[in-house]
């Protein structure tokens, strides 16, 4: 999965939650957990990219 794919999935889930008339607490919890995991993945990708940038900056 890429950063962009994770963001798109998170946005789609959030849009679904906004448009839902009535969701059970279990479904809401499950979808919220999915978004949290996707955003954690995105954060990890940003940190990884930042570290690579810092490492490569020293090699220039």
pLDDT tens track for 18-53? 888 788 889 999 999 999 999 999 999 999 999 998
Instruction: Give the pLDDT score at 57.
Output: 79
27-45 per-residue burial string, b: 16 or more CB within 10 A, e: under 16: eeeebeeebeebeebbeeb
Print the domain residue range for 11: 3-57
CB 23 within 8 A of CB 17: yes
Name the domain count of the chain. 1
Rounded to two decimals, the pTM is 0.80
């Amino acid at each position: 999965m890429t950063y962009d794919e994770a963001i798109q999935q998170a946005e789609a889930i959030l849009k679904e939650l906004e448009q839902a008339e009535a969701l059970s607490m279990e479904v809401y919890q499950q979808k919220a957990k999915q978004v949290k995991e996707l955003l954690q993945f995105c954060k990890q990708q940003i940190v990884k990219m930042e570290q690579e940038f810092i490492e490569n900056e020293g090699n220039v």
